[in-house]
Amino acid sequence: MARLPVYQRILEELLRSGTTTVSSELLASAAQVNAAKVRKDLSLLGSFGTRGAGYDAAFLIEQIDRGLGLDRIWPVVIAGIGHLGRALAHSQGFAARNFRVAALLDSNPAIIGEQVDGVVVRHPDDLSQIAGEEPLSIGVITTPASAAQRVADQMVGAGVRSILNFAPQMLEVPPEVLLRYVDLSIELQVMSFYLSHLTGEGGEGRMPVIRSIGLSPSPPE
């Protein structure tokens, strides 16, 4: 299931290059996985392929979006309007996947009132008021670690049901709130592991394959 976004990125690139139909073989080689895996993955969502021909790329993207719950708009609130917060607010990937930046928060008076991508930055203390104006589904925390727990509490109080935390800080939230962590240095750490073992002692043992790169080991429920 975590591979679905990978397929999507490939499908979109294929669409841009004019390809309209794609085989599991082609998708697999682009994603560097087994073709049977692609078919199994896609078959979990339904039967969208045409035997003998392959899959219709545009239709498949739609179906994957539906499977991922991306066939509706998710209002996102971002707390911490530093470089990372701005990068996320601008991100094409957000807009393209139906994530709408509904609110921006920062406690720095110098930033409050500033417009980023057409959205005015407000103070976290206004959160409950903002939530009254429009529903907020997902909270993204890009504040310093010291501010993370407080803003998480405020988000929960405002009815946010899931939080994505980029701050290097473990958070406490009620069990019904979905919480995931992202650490931008994790991929580098994985690279470090590979690099040191590739160039290092050389072929003394089996090299484990690292698939996941998340900080979020916990399934909800």
Partner DNA sequence: CGATGTGAAATGCTTCACAGCA
Partner DNA sequence: TGCTGTGAAGCATTTCACATCG
Query: What's the distance, Cα to Cα, between the start and end of the chain in Å?
Result: 18
Under the binding rule (CB under 7 A), the answer on residue 137 touching DNA is no
For a second copy, give the closer residue by CB, 113 or 144: 144
Q: Quote the crossing angle between the two packed helices 57-68 and 4-16, to the nearest 10°.
A: 150
Under the binding rule (CB under 7 A), the answer on residue 208 touching DNA is yes
> Is-contact 35 20, C-beta < 8 A?
no
Report, in Å, the least distance between residue 211 CB and DNA.
Answer: 7
Under the binding rule (CB under 8 A), the answer on residue 119 touching a second copy is no
Is the Cα dihedral 81, 115, 72, 87 positive or negative?
A: negative
Q: What is the DSSP string of 16-39?
A: HTT--EE-HHHHHHHHTS-HHHHH
Report, in Å, the least distance between residue 218 CB and DNA.
Answer: 11
Bridge partners (DSSP) listed for residue 100: 75
Per CB under 8 A, which region of 45-53, 106-114, 117-125, 163-171 contacts a second copy?
A: 163-171
d(CA 52, CA 34) in angstroms, rounded, equals 19
Under the binding rule (CB under 8 A), the answer on residue 76 touching a second copy is yes
d(CA 94, CA 156) in angstroms, rounded, equals 22
Question: What residue type is assigned to position 126 of the chain?
Answer: D
> Is-contact 201 185, C-beta < 8 A?
no
Q: Considering only residues 51, 115, 174, 184, which one is a binding residue for DNA as defined by CB under 7 A?
A: 51
Under the binding rule (CB under 7 A), the answer on residue 124 touching DNA is no
49 interacts with, out of a second copy, DNA, none, CB within 5 to 8 A per kind: DNA
Under the binding rule (CB under 8 A), the answer on residue 55 touching a second copy is no
Q: Considering only residues 82, 113, 135, 157, which one is a binding residue for a second copy as defined by CB under 8 A?
A: 82
Q: Considering only residues 52, 109, 184, 206, which one is a binding residue for a second copy as defined by CB under 8 A?
A: 184
Report, in Å, the least distance between residue 110 CB and a second copy.
Answer: 17
Q: What's the chain's length in residues?
A: 221
User: What is the DSSP secondary structure assignment for residue 2, as one 8-state letter?
Assistant: T
- Footprint of a second copy on 14-43 (CB under 8 A): 30-33
**Which residues contact DNA (rule: CB under 7 A)?**
22-25, 33-37, 39-40, 42-43, 47-55, 208-209, 211
